[in-house]
Structure 1
């Protein structure tokens, strides 16, 4: 079967996700960096890392991801950088004990897919973030992309509200569990209006994708809290639509090459592309360097028993959206620190509902 005849998922979705991955790599990765990628088995991206001129690559994923085949494929390419691959689950296994020689060695740890898997339980999320902290050298960054639970839940809540506002003939006590759009369908496994901070499952079916993917909502305040416990400082959580708007002057050309299905002739995202991009968010944390002054600032979240965090999604978005104090000069948004954008406000941004 020719490559053109092979069924492919929605090209728009994958092109947009590729744009975000490439942009983040261009912002963060510097020549000769040691990069650790969690859940790396999703595809062969050796060329991307070679273009970034990294010095060493560490790939970590569960055995069932096909990481053995990926290791063989990468080694056969004989790239300029060295590689190590490990069949380990970063949200259940102790990487510090298993990879003693690799601890505190990575300049960057990235998770460009599957962060949401660790939100099946608090223990898994805590384990992953502690593993990240053990791998990073002081001053290093943890960054990546994950479905934007704020946007997804807001869409679901809007759907529920519209359902109840229709007619009195609707069955009482029944909550619609599905959000349908032109390019995707989101289905929650349990029909309810509230959910716990961990273990809230849903399925995301993108046009052309077979089959639907099962995810867990990422509760951002819990992510920040557990990261802080692991020694990682919050930098930014930004919906990909905002990320694109902030970076399009630099990266618009990347999307222009994808054709008319993604952007218009002026480089503006088409409504369909904007809707798909809005389902995802970037996240950025940093492991503080005690020898660097001044240290990175982080927002203060209200101390409380985390078992009390079960609430409607809109509640925590209203109560816990906190604007931190201005960071030291030269820090600001991460893209400013890397010298890509001009001055702009630094703020804690949980995505607004579309």
Structure 2
């Protein structure tokens, strides 16, 4: 299960050539062109258009065990790094699929932000207990706020001035959408850094550029995949080489059965690490999903969690476990943990949390845009 490929095939990527200087106060000009905004809107529309599934529909998904495996990985990350009473910032929170995970961690406050209006509305109804297709559950124990806007474009420290600082920030299977331009990548990291307290934790999952580029170079054409996913690069990358002078905007089309069908962007991880350091975010660890499973399945508490989630099935039926094609798809992803420099200060008042609601009405959702 360990990573089965040589030294990073994406090592030709160099550090970003900064076109503007990082300002710790967040006043740098993060400019975007219209094409970038169009792509961001396409991604938002794609996720908004995806309807909530019933339990029966979900269990019939061709990638049900991959979804459960990804949920296990996110659950382990949250269990490892969330603490009772933590204030949580969930970037690209989607339909609120991680709300129960945060509740089990007994966090104290939650702010979710997503670009897709339909997803935020689904998150609201899930938080209120109105649309949980899995079971009728008791109310969540933490107050929450929901915001609709592009967290990779908007400056969030002004919007969340009364809510910050946060103890933990999460961005699951979404940060690569910020890598379409240097401006968006920087804005994403600037937002995380500005809103985390010193010593605060940033957890996330995203595609593993090393694996994707390795598979591209092994493929005869510009596409590769299997029965549950495929990746397609454009002809501009016919030589399968990437300019070290610009590690941003390397776009590919990604399709995952019953989940994703939209453009994504390569995130060369060592460039991501260097860029994060500019914003006082230091790497704690990065692990490919295969390596992650190999390591944490050695621990009894996470073996039991895997059993409860059913990601690896019970072995009683042919379709009851993770298929080889799903396992290959899992190899496309990695998990990371970053920590903000500085000493923790937990003496700050929690008065910020009075903005949260225990029942969120439609009118409570805050909509933000670049004109705000």
TM-score, length-normalised on structure 2? 0.67
* In structure 1, distance between residues paired with 2:322 and 2:258: 22
Gap regions ≥5 residues in structure 2 = 1-52, 130-137, 346-372
- SS of 1:214's partner is strand
1:158 CA displacement: 1.1
Alignment partner for residue 186 of structure 1, among 231, 243, 251?
A: 231
Alignment of 1:198-213 (within 5 A): 198-206=248-256, 208-209=257-258, 212-213=261-262
Which residue of 1 is the match for residue 56 of structure 2? 4
Alignment of 1:137-152 (within 5 A): 137-152=197-212
Alignment partner for residue 155 of structure 1, among 215, 225, 244?
A: 215
* In structure 2, distance between residues paired with 1:38 and 1:246: 26
- SS of 2:187's partner is helix
Cα shift readout 1:251-274 (whole Å, capped 9, x = no counterpart): 223333455865869xx9764453
Matched residue pairs, number? 273
* Structure 1 stretches of 4+ moved >6 Å: none
Alignment of 1:78-157 (within 5 A): 78-103=139-164, 105-157=165-217
Output the aligned Cα RMSD: 2.7
1:24 CA displacement: 0.8
* In structure 2, distance between residues paired with 1:263 and 1:276: 21
Higher RCO, 1 vs 2 (CA within 8 Å, ≥6 residues apart): 2
Gap regions ≥5 residues in structure 1 = 164-175, 293-354
TM-score, length-normalised on structure 1? 0.70
* In structure 1, distance between residues paired with 2:175 and 2:311: 31
Residue 245 (structure 1) aligned with residue 294 (structure 2): yes
- SS of 2:206's partner is strand
- SS of 1:237's partner is strand
1:101 CA displacement: 1.3
Which residue of 2 is the match for residue 227 of structure 1? 276
Cα shift readout 1:141-171 (whole Å, capped 9, x = no counterpart): 1111101111111011111xxx3xxxxxxxx
Alignment of 1:285-304 (within 5 A): 285-290=338-343
1:93–1:271 distance in 2 versus 1, CA, 3 Å: same
- SS of 1:249's partner is coil
* In structure 2, distance between residues paired with 1:180 and 1:28: 33
1:44–1:255 distance in 2 versus 1, CA, 3 Å: closer
1:134–1:13 distance in 2 versus 1, CA, 3 Å: same
Contact kept in structure 1, 2:68 and 2:311, CA below 8 Å: no
1:233 CA displacement: 1.2
* In structure 2, distance between residues paired with 1:86 and 1:131: 14
